[in-house]
Structure formats: structure tokens, C-alpha cells
Structure 1
Amino acid sequence: MNIKKTFTALVAATTFSGALAAEELSVAATPVPHAEILEHVKPMLAEQGVELDVKVFTDYVQPNIQVDQERMDANFFQHQPYLDEFNDGRGTDLVTVTGVHVEPFGAYSNKIDSLEDLKEGAVVAIPNDPTNGGRALLLLQKAGLITLEDDSKITATPRDIADNPRNLDFKELEAATLPRILNQVDMALINTNYALEAGLNPTEDALVIEGSDSPYVNILVARPDNKDSDAMKKLAEALNSESVRKFILNSYEGAVVPAF
């Protein structure tokens, strides 16, 4: 027996087995800040035997479809009200794994410097999905620009406005397009991830912005069959780590706020 060859073969087999043991976890995410946060935790997970594969999407529909159809393991882009609305509308049963951060929602304009400058009949663009559209209207109500029939309805639409003293003209558009049409409207209510991608600074450029008490915590989402897997638990722990807290605070300077 050639002991040297046997030992070499054993080492090679052990190394190969170890390589196979690394578990892949695919996560769909919007670019900023979600994909950036996931890239930050990649090395942490690699040390724990989890290979994180981050796929970037620029819309709010495909990430959920991809997870529901088992093309991706999880996603990270949305808040609970949006997930609830999606599950109800699409018949899916995606579930929350953990909350990570809040992106305070804001109103932006290239034409005015304050809400007081918003003229009669001004065109205001809001997201066309129910939860983010309702979120926009609730923020405008808080700012005193409109009054809703039900001041707690998170899926409110312009049809739910009871009082609109400035006769604001609301346009409901795809959330991702709002930064691109900012020059075409008087004001737009934009999700922070899209605002950041467009080079807007929420803490400096927003005419009005949600406070840190916002209930719209962004969440890691999976399916019931994989939400408790070891790899998913490791990802959840990494996303709620002190390292991620510091990364968020240092990278986004208040435009993104840790929720843990």
C-alpha cells in the first residue's frame, strides 16, 4: 500500500466534501440599499459555509414571483404592508423572516423648494401600487395637504381623498419610474431606495419625509418551506448584526435607519 498516495487521496476527498458542504442561498433584491447590505454580509456568511448569491431586480413584482416559483430562495426589498397586499392579490403565501431597516418615504421636487410653494392644481406623482400609494397619501395628509376619508387606511388611493384644498392632480405611476419623471411633475413621492439610486439625498432633498417611527420596516422574505432553514437563519442573524447596523448608519447617513 502506498501510504502517501492514500493520504493525498483522503485529503483531496475531504477538501472536495467540504466544498460541497457550502450551501447556496439566492436572494432577489433591489439595488440600493438592499443589494448593498447583502453584499456586506457575504463574507460573514461565507465563513459559516453559506454562499450568498444576490440577484438585482429593479421592480417590486418579480422578486416575489421568483421566490414563490422557487427560482430564488428569498428576497429583500419590501415592507410588510406591501407583502400582505401582494399575498392577498396574487394568492401567494410568502412569509417574513426578519425585519432589517426603515427607508423613510419622502416627497421630492425639481420645481419648488418647500410645500408652501405647491400651487393650485399642481401635478403630484405617487406610486401606483396600493401600499406605497397609500403610504404617499398618508404622508401628504400628515403634512396638511390633503385629508383622507379614513386617516389610517394604508391602501388609500386618490379616490379616498375627502378634502383636497389645493386641487392637487394626482398621477399614479410605477414606483421605479418616479425619479425619472421628476422634471415632468411638480412633486413626486418616491421610495428611498429609488431616491438613493437617482442620486437624491432624502435627509437633504426631501420636502417632507417620514419620521423614524415609520411602520414600514423592510424585511427578508422567504417561503414557508425554507424560512427556517439553517442558511436562512444565518442570513437573518447576519442582517441583524452589529456589523450591519454600523454599515447602515455609516453608509446612508439617516436615509436608511436600522430597525433592530
Structure 2
Amino acid sequence: MKKLLAVVAALFALSAYADETLTVGASAVPHAEILEVVKPMLAKDGINLQIKVFNDYIQPNVQLVEKRLDANFFQHQPYLDEFNKGKGTDLVAVAKVHIEPLGAYSSTYTKVDDLPNGATVALPNDPTNEGRALLLLAKGGLITLKNPTNILSTPKDIATNPKELKFRELEAATLPRVLTSIDLALINTNYALAVKLDPTKDALLIEGSDSPYVNILVARPDNRDSIAMQKLVAALHSPEVKQFILEKYQGAVISAF
């Protein structure tokens, strides 16, 4: 009888595992597209991957903290660090997946040297991406910063601004939509790709492959080591995903594994 009960318990546990659902929040491009690649891979292991698409950088972390998500995939480590610090949360990185080089785009000019004095430049308004954008502008010779190593620089930290550029701080997701009404916009690759901008061809300035802003899979401390999460990590680090990133994005997105 004891053996029979043990077998029944084991079968019940296997059935429960086979029905396991993993809900992951993600930006539409490229994060959700990458997750779609691993979805059938996880299904073979009895894991039902549910992908919830977001168009902002706040709710995926909020809903993860509230346990409405099991993980999210949209951000880099500096952004996560700033979120945890500001909100008093303890979300953790589980795996590095890819790099999305930040780019500077214009619908009017083909090189930054052509920007006129007083040109309007739109920046992402979240602290880490704004600092990242300013570092790229400094690298491109448009400005200098008081502290060139400060990843949280703001326009107040600009030391010299020869072209007297004017800055508008806007939500990252809205930047592609204002491109025709300003001179230059610093746009995250996921939002650039969503409006058919090609970072390798259309960006006037772009981060190199040595960018420290690697996009990560993020979870809570209580579930970071779960079997389902580790299987998701293994799938995201698979040769199939590496090949998909290479063929689909042609250098606009670079695998980090």
C-alpha cells in the first residue's frame, strides 16, 4: 500500500509539473519575439509559457513584485538597480540574454554634424536610459559631461554644449512618435525596431557591442531557482535562440551568451 501511495504521489507531482504555467512580462520587440521561439521548447518539458506584452518600463516590475508575473524580460541591470533602489524592492537578475544598442535617430538629418545650433534632442526620461543617452551624445562629440563615467547623468550634468542643444525628456515608448517633430531622438532598440527603424542603418550614433546594458531575465528571490525558471534560462541560452537573434535582427540585437 505504501508503495502504491508513493507511486500515486509521484504521478500527481508529475501531472502538476506538466501543467505548470510560467507567465513572463516582456516588451513586444525583441523580447516577446525571442520568448515565442522558446515557447515550444518549454512545452516539451511540460511548461506552458504565457507571454504578457507591455509597452512601458514600469508595470513589468510592479506586476512581478505583486506576483502577477513569474518573471520579466525587458530591462538591463542599471535600470533594475535603480528600480530596486527607488521602490525598495529586491528583484534579481536570473540570466543575461542580449544587448540592444541605444541609437540616436533623426527624420531630418543624416549625420550629427548637420544638427543646427539650438536643435531639439529628445531623451528617455527614466534615470538609467537618460544617462545612457547622454553618454552616447558625449561619445558622439555633441556634448561633454562633468563626470564622463556617471551612468545617471542628467542634462544638469552637461559640462559643455557647443551647439546649445535643447533637451526634452519623454517616456521612452513615445520617442519614435515624436521623431518627426524634433531634430534628434535617443531611442531604445526595441522601440526603434517596432516602428521599422534599422539601428544598423538608420542610427546617426549607436552604442558598440561592448555596451554594459545587457538585457536580462528578472525574477523574484523566491522563484529565481525554480525548475521552470532554470528551464527557461536554458532555453534562452540555446543555440536556437542565438541563431534566431543573428538571423532576425542582423546586428541590431546582439546575443550576450
Q: Does 1:39 align with 2:26?
A: no
Tell me which amino acid in the other structure corresponds to 2:33: E
Given that 2:18 and 2:45 are in contact with CA atoms closer than 8 Å, whether structure 1 keeps it comes out as no
Q: Does 1:181 align with 2:155?
A: no
Q: Secondary structure at the match of 1:170?
A: strand
Task: Indicate yes or no: 2:116 matched with 1:116.
Answer: no
Alignment partners' CA distance in 2, 1:39 and 1:62: 21
Task: Tell me the equivalent position of 2:136.
Answer: 139
Q: Which TM-score applies when normalising by structure 2?
A: 0.94
Q: Does 1:49 align with 2:46?
A: yes
Q: 2:255 aligns with which of 227, 252, 258?
A: 258
Work out whether 1:93 is the aligned partner of 2:62. no
Following superposition, the deviation at residue 18 of structure 1 comes to 3.4
Q: 1-side partners of 2:197 and 2:58: how far apart? A: 24
Task: Choose which of 235, 239, 248 in structure 2 pairs with 1:238.
Answer: 235
What is the alpha-carbon distance in structure 2 between the residues aligned to residue 70 and residue 170 of structure 1? 37
SS of 1:89's partner is helix
Q: Which amino acid aligns with 2:133?
A: A
Aligned AA (2:216) = I
For 2:203, the aligned partner's letter is A
Inter-partner Cα distance in structure 1 for 2:177 and 2:18: 45
Cα deviation 1:10-48 (Å, max 9, x = unaligned): xxxx79973763211000000000000001000100111
C-alpha distance in 1, partners of 2:12/2:248?
37
Matched, 1:80 2:77: yes
Corresponding position of 1:150 = 147
Indicate the SS of the match to 2:169: strand
Instruction: Flag structure 1 segments of 5+ consecutive residues without an equivalent.
Output: 1-13
- 1:146-170 residue CA offsets vs partner (Å, 9 max, x unmatched): 0000001111100000111110001
- How far apart are 1:49 and its partner, in Å? 1.3
Q: TM-score, normalised by structure 1?
A: 0.93
Q: Is 2:98–2:255's contact at 8 Å kept on the other side of the alignment?
A: yes
**Counterpart position of 2:62:** 65
Distance 1:19 1:138 in 2: 49
Instruction: Provide the rounded CA distance (Å) in 2 between the counterparts of 1:149 and 1:155.
Output: 12
* Partners of 2:15 and 2:224 in 1: CA distance: 24
Which of residues 206, 209, 214 in structure 2 aligns to 1:209?
A: 206
Residue-by-residue CA offset, 1:175-207 (whole Å, 9 max, x unaligned): 000000001100000000000001100000000
Are 1:169 and 2:166 counterparts? yes
Percent sequence identity is 65
CA 1:215–1:17: 2 relative to 1, 3 Å = closer
Q: CA deviation at 1:93?
A: 0.5
How many residues of Structure 1 are paired with residues of Structure 2 in the alignment? 247
- Secondary structure of the residue aligned to 1:42 is helix
| Aligned-residue RMSD, C-alpha | 1.4
Rounded to whole Å, the distance in 2 between the matches of 1:110 and 1:54 is: 33
Cα 1:237–1:178, aligned 2, differ >3 Å: closer, same or farther? same
Q: Can you list the C-alpha shifts for 1:125-158, whole angstroms capped at 9, x where unaligned? A: 0000000000000000001110000001111100
Distance in 2 separating the partners of 1:51 and 1:152? 43
Q: What are the superposed Cα offsets for residues 72-110 of structure 1, whole Å, 9 maximum, x if unpaired? A: 000000000000000001111100000000001100000
Distance 1:20 1:85, change over 3 A: closer
In 1, Cα distance between equivalents of 2:153 and 2:113: 24
